[in-house]
Amino acid sequence: MSPPPLPRWLGLAGLLPQLAAVALVFGGDEAVRFSAIALGYA
């Protein structure tokens, strides 16, 4: 049984900040990397 569409989309939207932080860690310079790690941890 799969969850209803709205909770599924809200769950995926909750992952967006973590995915953005991972992208910045791998693609950013050192200052941006530190900020991305701090924000992703929060």
CA neighbor of 41 nearest in space, from 8, 13, 17, 12:
17
- Report the amino acid identity of residue 32: V
Query: What is the average pLDDT value for the chain, to the nearest integer?
Result: 82
Residue 1, pLDDT above cutoff 80: no
Q: What is the pLDDT of residue 38?
A: 82
How many angstroms separate the CA atoms of 38 and 6, rounded?
A: 29
Residue 9, pLDDT above cutoff 80: yes
Residue 6, pLDDT above cutoff 80: yes
Using a cut of 0.95, tell me whether the model's pTM lies above it: no
- pLDDT (mean) for 10-14: 83
**What percent of the chain shows pLDDT beyond 90?**
0
